[in-house]
């Protein structure tokens, strides 16, 4: 599968097959038993484990069986319908729903063709060579009177451009920030004195005016254009005629002294430190800047208010002086106990080398801590396991992690056999139990009570419990008829990684075997 893969090594698939072979297909609809099994079999795969349990809670196995066997749909269609139901009702990822539905279909024995998850291709639209990035658009502002317009810009183009993907794309470049004004009518090029031209007020633009260059929309003002309000408040500039800017973006500089009888040329723009942001409006001399006066007055009011509050609250600079304690002799009281010289002779370090614990491990598998040994789990009619039991070596199925296998004969069951098998951990126990059921050909049972009903050869698995072993998932009993007609009872101790097999004498009935198991085993 593309993207995030599920069950890359097939461990979840193997665990689900193990659960079905051990407990039958009904375990796919029991989230409690299946949850305990996959917790033991898949300790390092929480994602796959939770998906398998969620599918059991959602009834995926029953839904697949209904689609395939009840509605006669093909397996792939049934998987798609179930996966869609999981995605909508359980809010699972589509890929996860497909994977877990496929695993359940395979566990039910349906033939599933391998599928590949859909791959989402994100199409990247590369810009055409004619596209450019334009600045944010704002409403046009009327040009200043008698001010020459800025250089005309080309109108924005909305010509469709062909993209590499074979589809038509629209050039949506926004219009320029300011609409160029038409050029004024032709007039004599004689320069006009600044005093003859009325000053223009700045345009009332709801947005801040953009800089002259479209490529630098957020350019910071230069150091020379920043005015000091304190310096302006200290010394007022001399009276001078109001200058006129050449365009909406240049700052005017004061013109030189006028020569009598000679027209003054157009003032040269300058970005010096004394240029105001807009031309002055009055005709009777320049206005004195009020920003510095307002700022100074505000600061003075704040200082006065603080002094009034400080005087009332007795804070700095009106806080009362804290009297310092007089410097007198200090009495130091020691709480450290007096050191009494010890008369114990000093301890001489031992030269004996430390004992290094052995790192050698015992040969073969061993029981985990707290697990009961096999001999105490045998039926109670076996009084002495050392004389009534022997080690079994010719086991016809595989028991991974086998710690001990015993073949015993009970005194009250002449002609019968008792077998016990114990492995080292829960994971090996689940595999050994599944291997035994596969070897014994223990299939699906229509009855969940032992002994099996009349006319049936097997029953179970069913959960069992007693005072020493409370009910829990995986602690089950199975019963069936052997190949030669003997009755067989098999039960598990999952907490002890053990299962016991009892094959009764051929002369015994299932009722006799069940009564013996109830008294001596359970």
Average predicted confidence (pLDDT) for the chain: 71
Answer whether residue 286 shows pLDDT above 60.
no
CB 501 within 8 A of CB 419: yes
CA gap 347, 366 in Å, rounded? 43
CA gap 330, 333 in Å, rounded? 10
Q: What is the pLDDT of residue 410?
A: 86
Answer whether residue 234 shows pLDDT above 70.
no
CB 510 within 8 A of CB 484: no
Q: Which ranges of 207-333 would DSSP assign to H, the alpha helix?
A: 229-234, 291-313
CA gap 477, 514 in Å, rounded? 11
Q: What does the DSSP 8-state code read for residue 162?
A: E
Is the link from the previous residue into 317 a cis peptide, with omega within 30 of 0? yes
CA gap 318, 308 in Å, rounded? 10
pLDDT digits 0-9 by tens, 370-394: 899 988 899 988 888 889 899 999 9
Share of the chain above pLDDT 70, in %: 56
Using CB atoms within 10 A of its CB, is residue 436 exposed (0-12), middle (13-18) or buried (19+)? buried
CA gap 18, 135 in Å, rounded? 66
Answer whether residue 423 shows pLDDT above 90.
yes
Q: What is the pLDDT of residue 424?
A: 93
CA gap 239, 483 in Å, rounded? 125
pLDDT digits 0-9 by tens, 185-217: 554 444 444 444 455 555 555 444 544 444 443
CA gap 181, 149 in Å, rounded? 6
Q: What is the pLDDT of residue 105?
A: 92
Answer whether residue 75 shows pLDDT above 90.
yes
CA gap 305, 89 in Å, rounded? 66
Mean pLDDT over 435-443 rounds to 89
Answer whether residue 144 shows pLDDT above 60.
no
Answer whether residue 87 shows pLDDT above 70.
yes
Which position has the higher pLDDT, 305 or 118?
Answer: 305
Mean pLDDT over 428-440 rounds to 93
pLDDT digits 0-9 by tens, 88-105: 998 889 999 999 999 999
Q: What is the pLDDT of residue 357?
A: 52
Mean pLDDT over 65-78 rounds to 93
289 Cα distance to chain centroid: 59
Q: Where are the domains of the chain?
A: 11-107, 374-520
> In sequence order, what DSSP letters do the residues of 382-414 get, joined into one string?
---HHHHEEE----SS--TTEEEEEEE--TTST
The SS3 assignment for 375 reads: helix
Answer whether residue 129 shows pLDDT above 50.
no
| Type and span of the H or E element at 423 | strand 417-423
Q: Which ranges of 197-339 would DSSP assign to H, the alpha helix?
A: 229-234, 291-313
| Type and span of the H or E element at 476 | strand 476-481
Using CB atoms within 10 A of its CB, is residue 6 exposed (0-12), middle (13-18) or buried (19+)? buried
Tokens matching residue 83:
């996966």
CA triple 503-508-512, angle to 5 deg: 95
CA triple 314-315-319, angle to 5 deg: 65
CB 174 within 8 A of CB 137: yes
Lowest mean pLDDT among 3-12, 210-219, 417-426, 489-498: 210-219
CA gap 370, 499 in Å, rounded? 17
| Type and span of the H or E element at 493 | strand 487-493
Is the link from the previous residue into 461 a cis peptide, with omega within 30 of 0? yes
Sign of CA dihedral 203, 206, 211, 213: negative
Q: What is the pLDDT of residue 438?
A: 92
pLDDT digits 0-9 by tens, 153-177: 444 444 444 444 444 343 444 444 4
CA gap 244, 176 in Å, rounded? 25
Q: What is the pLDDT of residue 350?
A: 53
Share of the chain above pLDDT 90, in %: 27
CB 429 within 8 A of CB 497: yes
Q: What is the pLDDT of residue 201?
A: 53
Tokens matching residue 258:
């006028």
**Angstrom distances, CA of residue 155 to CA of 168, 173, 179, 181, 211:** 21, 10, 10, 13, 19
**Side by side, which strands form the sheet with 487-493?**
389-391, 402-408, 417-423, 498-503, 487-493, 476-481, 458-463
Answer whether residue 476 shows pLDDT above 50.
yes
90 Cα distance to chain centroid: 18
Top-confidence range, 289-293, 348-352, 376-380: 376-380
62 Cβ neighbours under 8 A, 6+ residues apart:
29
435 Cβ neighbours under 8 A, 6+ residues apart:
397, 398, 399
- How many C-beta neighbours within 10 Å does residue 199 have? 19
Which position has the higher pLDDT, 117 or 5?
Answer: 5
CA gap 500, 478 in Å, rounded? 11
CA gap 76, 62 in Å, rounded? 16
Q: Which ranges of 314-375 would DSSP assign to H, the alpha helix?
A: none
């Amino acid at each position: 599968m593309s993207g995030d893969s599920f069950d890359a090594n097939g461990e979840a698939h193997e665990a689900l097959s193990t659960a079905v072979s051990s407990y039958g297909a009904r375990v796919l609809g029991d989230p409690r038993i299946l949850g305990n099994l996959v917790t033991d079999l898949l300790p390092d795969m929480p994602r796959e484990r939770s998906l398998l349990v969620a599918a059991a809670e959602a009834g995926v196995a029953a839904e697949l069986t209904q689609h395939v066997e009840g509605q006669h749909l093909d397996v792939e269609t049934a998987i798609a319908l179930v996966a869609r139901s999981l995605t909508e009702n359980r809010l699972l990822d589509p890929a996860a729903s497909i994977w877990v539905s496929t695993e359940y279909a395979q566990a039910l024995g349906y033939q599933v063709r391998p599928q590949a998850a859909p791959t989402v291709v994100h199409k990247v639209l590369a810009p055409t060579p004619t596209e450019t990035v334009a600045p944010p658009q704002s409403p046009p502002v009327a040009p200043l009177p008698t001010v020459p317009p800025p250089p005309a810009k080309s109108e924005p183009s909305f010509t469709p451009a062909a993209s590499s993907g074979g589809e038509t794309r629209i050039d949506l470049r926004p219009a320029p920030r300011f609409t160029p004004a038409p050029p004024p009518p032709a007039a004599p090029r004689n320069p006009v004195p600044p005093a003859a031209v009325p000053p223009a007020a700045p345009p009332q633009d709801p947005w801040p005016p953009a800089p002259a260059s479209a490529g630098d929309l957020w350019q910071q003002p230069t150091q020379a254009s920043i005015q000091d309000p304190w310096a302006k408040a200290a010394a007022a500039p001399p009276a001078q005629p109001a200058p006129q800017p050449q365009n909406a973006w240049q700052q005017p500089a004061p013109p030189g002294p006028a020569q009598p009888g000679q027209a003054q040329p157009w003032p040269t723009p300058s970005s010096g430190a004394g240029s105001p942001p807009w031309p002055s409006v009055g005709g009777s001399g320049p206005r004195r800047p009020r920003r510095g006066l307002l700022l100074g007055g505000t600061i003075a009011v704040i200082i006065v208010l603080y002094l009034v509050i400080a005087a009332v609250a007795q804070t700095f600079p009106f806080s009362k002086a804290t009297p310092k304690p007089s410097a007198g002799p200090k009495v130091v009281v020691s709480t450290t106990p007096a050191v009494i010289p010890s008369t114990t002779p000093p301890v001489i370090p031992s030269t004996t080398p430390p004992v290094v614990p052995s790192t050698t491990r015992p040969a073969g598998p061993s029981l985990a801590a707290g697990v009961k040994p096999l001999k105490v789990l045998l039926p109670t009619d076996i009084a002495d396991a050392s004389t009534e039991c022997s080690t079994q070596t010719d086991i016809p199925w595989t028991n991974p992690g086998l710690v001990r296998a015993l073949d015993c004969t009970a005194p009250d069951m002449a002609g019968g056999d008792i077998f016990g098998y114990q492995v080292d951990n829960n994971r090996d126990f689940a595999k050994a139990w599944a291997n035994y059921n596969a070897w014994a050909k223990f299939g699906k049972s229509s009855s969940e009570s032992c002994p099996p009903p009349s006319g049936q050869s097997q029953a179970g698995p069913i959960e069992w419990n007693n005072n020493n072993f409370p009910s829990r998932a995986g602690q089950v009993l199975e019963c069936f008829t052997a190949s030669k007609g003997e009755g067989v009872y098999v039960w598990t101790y999952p907490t002890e990684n053990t299962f016991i097999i009892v094959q009764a004498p051929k002369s015994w009935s299932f009722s006799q075997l069940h009564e013996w198991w109830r008294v001596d085993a359970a």
